A and B are shown apart, each in its own frame.
Chain A
Amino acid sequence: MSAPAGPRTEHFDCGLLADLEDGGMTLVEGPNGGIGLFRRGDTVYALRNWCPHNGAPVCLGPVTGTNVSKGGHAVEHVRDGEILVCPWHKWEFELATGESITKPVKKVETYPVIIEDGRVSVVVRRIRKRRNADTTHN
């Protein structure tokens, strides 16, 4: 999807698509803090590296599936490869949307991704005074 830079947003260049680890996670230092880039073929998901639970570097966690109850103690493992698990307290988030399975009102912030001519950029909010940017928190 395409989102032109506006008065409140800017495009942050993340380099070449080919340089992003396919199937893995590449961490970049955005203007507002760390951003995890998850390349899956020609699709890239961009998530803020900050867990809404306690501020953990959520993008460093494994990407797995999740368990759902089938009634009684029967459990099924589903959605393999779609769930980002926070390394600190194991909260689960949908990779594609940042929505939380663990506590649906909480969400990992995501960014629109633009891929043009083999370059990847993300759309971030332009913050005039970056007082909340925690660049030590990768």
Chain B
Amino acid sequence: MIGRYFYPPSIPEWTPIGEDDARPATSSPELLADSWDVAVGTDGAILVPLTRGLIPEPDLGPAVCSATNAWLRDKWLDHSALRDRVAGAVRVDPEDADAAIAELERVAGDPRFVTVAVPLQGREPYGSRRYVPVWRKAAELGFAVTIVADGGCGINQFPTMAGYCDHYVEYNSLLPWTAAMVHLASFVGGGVFEEVPDLRVVFLDGGADVVFPFMWRMDKPWRGVRYQVPWIEKHPTEYLVDHVRFCVQRAEGAALPAASLTSLATELTVYGSRYPHWDAITPAEARAGLAPDAAEKLLGGAADFYGGRFARWAAELPTRPGLPVSQ
């Protein structure tokens, strides 16, 4: 029961294969391959393995990440049914910068690892100085940093200045975009985008609908507090287009999430399905309501932003025939 606290009992957390088959659709490579054209519907996908929570035990976190990466490679990236279409996110525990850097160097030779994934849940905002060596190494090796909500076990910090939420509907509405904004403010406030100019950050769980009103609030005082943060060289909002993207999200409320965004916010979106999560979004749903060139940019723009290893992998990706929407 405790493990189900944050999820309404009537909704399974993961999309099942079908009405008669309750197995989560990504519970095996074969199932994923079988359901790919309908449920995933893209030429390729990054598999982001979860490590299920902010793990406080210092040795356990990095060990879980290493094991997860090895398992992902052995069981999924190497699988004959998926080899032609999947890449992987390498998990690191940012709490141990040395271990994280070692893990990145260990997998750097494998071009199928195309992005670094860290949990949205953190001990501190990710612009804090002790995390910067991890981001610097990631950028140096050509990895964009994907920040993904990853809970279920481990610990959670106090989510708000007013404490915890009582009900799932409150939790799901408030988090994770608030955590994303905390990390984003920290990257800007700590001068991380100045210190690591090649750093690119993707928030897998959305936030494009709130980022500009939030960052305008940060624009307002920054001139006056320049003497405290002289390493911020320009308006906070000016860092966004070069360094930050958000995946479009059904969780962001509108039935047509991308179409509900302002054109300004749409600049900061990339497609990311979060499949097989229960509020995953297909390419067709993501592009609904967008003009054709905006839709093209949404679905195909990830490679341009991620650059580095992802772009190299994406460039080699064969086009899958017969998909309703092609990447």
Is the Cβ of A102 less than 8 Å from the Cβ of B230? no
User: Is B224 in the interface zone, CB < 8 Å from A?
Assistant: yes
With beta carbons under 8 angstroms apart, the residue of B195, B224, B227 that contacts A67 is: B227
Is the Cβ of A101 less than 8 Å from the Cβ of B221? no
Is the Cβ of A89 less than 8 Å from the Cβ of B221? yes
* Complex interface: chain B residues within 8 A of A68 (CB): 230
* Complex interface residues of chain B between 204 and 247 (CB less than 8 A to chain A): 221, 223-228, 230-231
Footprint of A on B, CB under 8 Å? Answer: 129, 191, 195, 221, 223-228, 230-231
Q: A90-B224, A101-B226, A102-B223 are in contact. List 18 more A-B contacts (CB 8 A).
A: A53-B224, A66-B227, A67-B230, A69-B231, A73-B129, A73-B191, A73-B231, A75-B230, A75-B231, A89-B221, A89-B223, A90-B225, A90-B227, A91-B223, A91-B224, A92-B227, A102-B224, A103-B223
* Complex interface: chain B residues within 8 A of A6 (CB): none
Residue of B nearest to A102 (CB): B223
Complex Cα spacing A92 to B228, Å: 12
How many A-B residue contacts, CB cutoff 8 Å?
33
Closest chain-B Cβ to A29's Cβ sits at a distance in Å of 28
Is the Cβ of A72 less than 8 Å from the Cβ of B195? yes
Task: Report A52-87 CB contacts with B as 1/0, cut-off 8 Å.
Answer: 010000000000001111001101000000000010
Please count how many residues in chain A sit with their CB below 8 Å of the partner chain's CB atoms: 16
Complex Cα spacing A17 to B150, Å: 69
* Complex interface: chain A residues within 8 A of B129 (CB): 73
* Complex interface: chain B residues within 8 A of A67 (CB): 226-228, 230
Complex Cα spacing A103 to B221, Å: 12
Complex Cα spacing A93 to B126, Å: 33
* Complex interface: chain B residues within 8 A of A66 (CB): 227
Complex Cα spacing A92 to B224, Å: 8
Q: Interface centre among B195, B225, B226, by most A CB within 10 Å? A: B226
Complex Cα spacing A21 to B224, Å: 28
Is the Cβ of A102 less than 8 Å from the Cβ of B231? no
Complex Cα spacing A86 to B195, Å: 30
Task: Report A89-112 CB contacts with B as 1/0, cut-off 8 Å.
Answer: 111100000000111000000000
Is the Cβ of B191 less than 8 Å from the Cβ of A102? no
* Complex interface: chain A residues within 8 A of B225 (CB): 90
Complex Cα spacing A69 to B195, Å: 12
Residue of A nearest to B226 (CB): A102
Closest chain-B Cβ to A112's Cβ sits at a distance in Å of 28
Complex Cα spacing A90 to B226, Å: 9
Closest chain-B Cβ to A133's Cβ sits at a distance in Å of 27
* Complex interface: chain B residues within 8 A of A90 (CB): 224-225, 227
Complex Cα spacing A66 to B223, Å: 13
Is the Cβ of A89 less than 8 Å from the Cβ of B224? yes
Task: Report A115-127 CB contacts with B as 1/0, cut-off 8 Å.
Answer: 0000000000000
Closest chain-A Cβ to B197's Cβ sits at a distance in Å of 13
Q: Interface centre among A66, A68, A90, A103, by most B CB within 10 Å? A: A90
Complex Cα spacing A69 to B226, Å: 10
* Complex interface: chain A residues within 8 A of B228 (CB): 67
With beta carbons under 8 angstroms apart, the residue of A72, A73, A92 that contacts B226 is: A92
